[in-house]
Structure 1
Amino acid sequence: MGRAEERRARQRGGRRAAPKRRSRPVANGASGVNGASGASGASGKPAKSFIRRLFTWKKILGTFFGFCLLCIGSFIVLYLMVDVPTGNPAAEQQSNVYKYSDGSILARDGKVNREIVDLTKVPRKVQLTFVAAENKNFYHDHGIDFKGTARGLINTLSGKGKQGGSTITQQYVKNYYLNQDQTVTRKLKELVISLKVERQKGKDDILAGYINTSYYGRGAYGIQAAAQAYYRVDAEDLSVEQGAYLAALLQAPSQYDWAVASATGKKLVTQRWNYVLNNMVEEGWLDSAKRQSMKFPVPKDPKGTPGREGQKGYLIELANKQLEQQLMDEQGISRSDAEAKVENQGWTITLNIDKKKQTQLEKAVKSQLTAKLDKKKRRVDGDVQAGAVSVDPKTGKIVALYGGVDYFKHYVSNATRRDYQPASTFKPLILAAALEDDAETQNGKQISASTIYDGTSRRQVVANGSKVGFAPPNEDNQNYGPITVQKAMNKSVNSVFAQMGVDVGMDKVMGTAKKLGMDTEGMQAVPAQTLGSMGASPLEMAGIYATFDNHGNKVTPTIVKSAEKKSGSVQMPNPIGGPVISRTAADGVTSVLTGVVDDGTASESVAQNSQRDGQQVAGKTGTSDCNRSAWFTGYTPDLVTSVGLFGEAGKAGGKGCDGQPIKRFDHVSLKGAMGGGRVNGGGPPAEIWATYTFGVTKRSKFDLNTTQGAAVEPTETPTWTYHPTQTPSTTPSSTPSKSTTPSQTPSQTPSQTPSQTPSQTPSQSPTTGQPTGGVTDDPLNLDDQ
């Protein structure tokens, strides 16, 4: 026994190790010594597989460290090769050119609004608002965020786009030395240049460069231009509150611009404003007590930008937004980056706007509305705002748009705003859901144009034999008794469509609305929505009705025909999509809506118009509660146009329908405008529509695949659903909330009463005309015509 073996034996307690035995192959797969298989080693353990021998821990660790060394080496090479370029962002900015669909020039837009200011001209606490908003560790970092940059690179490679992580230094480098492209090369250059800039410049110089090169919206580049654009002051006179707003604005300039922001946009920018100030308190840059006393600094109204006067500004605004959205979807970039890539970047953007139709639409609004307004005689005339969008249903092109009296005088586009109720223009969507789903009434009868409902005003809506606590009035509390769906649509009978919505299922109704193109985010699927109590825009409603006109194939109205620049072009998505509802359902709605024009609430303004010349028309009127909005959305086989009138307080003073003091820009009643009474959808909106449409369309007929509705001869007898047995109470069982929007009902009863005897008897019955002792004029001034 050698010394080594003796030592090992002592360690094992004096036992000598057994001699190693060479394994022998065993014939016919028999087991070897001690039962070990022939595939086992001498120790009885299985032999390592090829994969285990190939991927050992040593090899894996070696490969990992080798990869790290390769990355470090590559980065060193990149660092040595990439120099800090000469920054001159103003030289890169060029005017955008906007053209009509025929190629003629609409506008040149993009004079750079920038004035560089020294950091000493910006109050210290205002400087810190930007640090608090974007990069709290700015004064302690080395100019880069490795984790954020790595995440950005991974997202770029995987096609997920940008997801934050940039420091102020990186954003400054992107704005001043590079561009907004989301590529791996650009991100790596940004990383290297940021490191070098940190070595070459001080923090104050970097912060000054950042706030002087960033885009703030309203055509303003840099803090000085932004201070003037939003608060009419120089940068040196900004308050901390105002600075915090400008800092918050950088995340999404257009979305957060208070003058045009939606309710969601205002909520988001207010939250970010609070976030900025709270961060300043946490960092010890702002006194907590002073922070608590600060109020949100509402910006001033924007000034007109040269080249955007009249309707041009509204057209340019929508074109920019749609192009920005496409860049966001295509490249995965943020909203602020998309805006920076569009504004003043030398684009040639051709719009789908037809010059002849655009001129005709503007003339129609002037002749049927603005020429009749006199705010010196009637205060309400100063509260009237009009918006309209016209779409080709076969191509999805927006061929004309009216955003307001003048972009310089009314910055918010009435064509795209979504803060007014569409009222009974929503009713066709309920019918579409019913036809698409083959829905049935409470007594199991399939819903169609000939189905008879109970048209009693304030009739309690029923579901599965129980009242649901919703009883909307018809206009002027009018009762209809038994009435077909066709006539209920013609006369816009609220009680019928409230019940129909429940029969179909409000979740299905709202689902159909979403498929057709309505933004239903945040909307509850409740019976009150049957009265169109949500918000919608003329653009949105034009797209929905264009989908009906296009036999159920989705139409997404698009204003951008093409967008190109020296570095390339952007391919806009096809405005026409596949079917979202069946052709029979879409055509059934169109057929029913021809009755609204020929025999219903739009007959006087549209059907009897001297320019009609036999043109077939479908459409729907709408008038919201308190007469705050009035609509007509109508279409011919080749053109869809939605016209909305909105009551917006031109100045503060007086009290609204709810008895509350009126502030400027509040939603107010249109009643009394132009020296008349209530402004209904069948009035000025329908008149504008008819004057415009009949001046630009050619006579044609709908090609409908349906056997029901006013456009075709009925092939079936009416289906009864409710039969009156008693007179309703003179006291309404449920008073609707002020947010609901009922519809108008004419003063006469339906001219026809089905002769057949109903097979079922409901628990409540209507009377024709006014109920005895009933309300003669709705106290809430609810109507829908």
Structure 2
Amino acid sequence: MGSASVGAARVGAAGATARAAVRPVPPGDEGAIGGGRSGRGKDKSKAAKRRRRTNILTAAAAVLVILLGAGVVGGTYFFDDVDLPPPVTEDQSNVIKYSTGATIAKLGEQNRTVVPEAKINKVVEHAVAAAEDKNFYSHHGIDMKGIVRAAWNNFTGGATQGASTITQQYARHAADLKAISINRKLREAVIARKLESQYNKDQIMGMYLNYIYLGEGRYGIEAAAQGYFGKSVLTPAGQKGAITPYEAAVLASIIKQPEPDPSGGHKGYDPNYNLAAAKDRWEYTMKNMLEMKWITQAEYDARKYPKVKPVTKAGSSKATSGPVGVVMRHVRAELAEMGISQQEFDKGGLTVTTTINPAVQKAAEEAGSRKSETSPMHSKPATYQASVIGIDPKTGAVLGYYAGDDPNGLDYGGYMDGQTLKITGGQSPGSTFKLYTLAAGLKEDISFKTTWDGTKTRPNGKKISNAGAEDSAICKGKIKYCDLEYSTIKSYNFPFYWIADGIGREKVIQAAVDAGVQHMFPDKGDAIDLTKTNAATWKKNFDNEVAFGQYRVPPLEHAEGVATIVNGGVRNDTHFIKEVRKVDADTGKVTIIKGQKSAGKRVFDEAQMSNLQGVMAEIVKVDDRDLKGGRESIAKSGTWEFNGGSGDTWFVGGIPQLAATVWVGGKNNKVELKDGNKDMFGAGTPSKIWKKFLDASAAAMNWDNEDFPKRVETGNPDSPYANGQEPPPPPVQQTDPNQGCVLGFIGTCDNNNGQNNGGNPGNNGGNTGGGNPGGGGDAGGGGNTTFPTTQGD
């Protein structure tokens, strides 16, 4: 009869944590049933003869005990002393998928998918019985002839043998019986009999099929069927894609010895490693299937050895070798939030569909990774690092996430520790944080037309820095009455400091929290969870510089806040999991543990957000980052200094379908960032990454060219919070009532028909190229339509 090796299968105590597989031992050793004699010669000394005689007598006694039956399985003390272990809950892998359904990876110590026996194609069960134990459905769990033969050989110097039935093989696994001894064999037999009295044949077969090792890192019959043939054993016979009798026989024939003997012995029965032996074993299995009438004569006569899939390299999954692997720690964190413990995750059996779209993920990686030859980062030093985060603003789903190339390294997007899943760091957002200051200011009825005094110093007398720009260069010399819109586009700091000072910096922080920022780091110490602290704590730990991004935040949380603004003030919780499914191993019932998160919450006024979006649209134009095809986008740049240069640089914003947040900074440690010989600003490399990411994503997803809502100007231009000085009155000019010309210029009034505004710096507002309908130069009423390219943030 067929015999089996279970030496290759994972051996573990009932309910124990999974351990690495125990690889096959050479035929002839325990677990390699039917193997030949051991290679050692007999010791012919008198002492050895006496030992052999003793072993023979012991073996005979043991065999007698077994044969008597009543002594072992009929109620003796030995029978009663052996407990029936509970069925082993087999550890299995978790399948992680893209939003499209394609598999990202299988996570877990063992590539196993537990399946319900009732739904397994019967031809598979019959093939396994034919290969391993053709009398499985008729015996009572014990092969008496095999036990006698094994006991005799083991005690008389012959090959150590198992001769186990399928029930005995599972009994050995369930009870963690590993020692090679007659006592183990007796216990195995007792447990097998008890299993047969507790469970029916189908149940035992199901437990066995979910436990066995079938080579190439595959545990259980489903993983083997998927791995060798790309099929499921759950597909009913006769349906398209169902396992055929010939394929089932291949799988069953592997069980005897799934892998080559590492010491150079038998090469096993995996057709990818030993096709000749695999075919011989397959013929044996097919013959037994015919003999037991599990296949017809016609099926047997038509047999043809099926082609199996080639070996795949272990660990080649993108999740263990590429940037998408960093996503896995966020998946685990969200599972914990759903109530799925680490223990349950390790147990496996989950199918997690993430929000990650493969096309958007590819775009993020190609835009942000130095390894990508088309990335603006490719030519940068190895000490530079970028993160690129793409979020669907309408749902909060993370569609693309590049946070580093090492899945086990630092998460430059969320700064989530891979072991503790805690937030460990962040980066200073610089002027991109002004979006929250503006949201807070708009809520307090501050208009973009308000003017602000850039010469006013802090209460301690310290000057407010504006990226090192001289006062004379700020606002085209109108630093004392610079309007908020132009200040936002040019990214001056002084209006934002005074907004925070006027309305209270806690309101700026509250706007950031409302948008999605949860953690912020003070100058010294650990992160403060803003959702679990109050305004008093915020005022104690953060100064007015929060208004223009001094304090570090995790880029992923900032990306959620950016998505809220891109979505017109409706916040959706950022998430990486779309759906979690679990199959009940007993019933096959699929349970959806968690679906995509609920609808968003409006946190900012719609009209105020359209006002802010309108200004952000101008930034895209100024920084020359228009997207392909005239696609409308909004953005904000940001930079925070380091060693007198740039240490953190950002470009954030997006299109209606995708909010994009890009950070560039130092890898591991801060470095002074350069674009060529000049300091890097957000409007440099980060904006190029941002544009490349959005262009590629929009093209790959075939998104419509969607516009943002029409701008609605809100707020009070005369807000009491504004501190801009009154602009000097225009010079008093006398005119000739008869000619309508300025006195002193009679005779030249008709020159160029009055079209010399663009070239005469003495004219009112002439240096704007006629593009300032509000008058008063660059800062006249916030009506600017053209701006010079920004030199900083």
Instruction: Report which of the two structures shows the higher radius of gyration computed on alpha carbons.
Output: 2
Give the TM-score normalised by the residue count of structure 2.
0.47
Give the TM-score normalised by the residue count of structure 1.
0.48
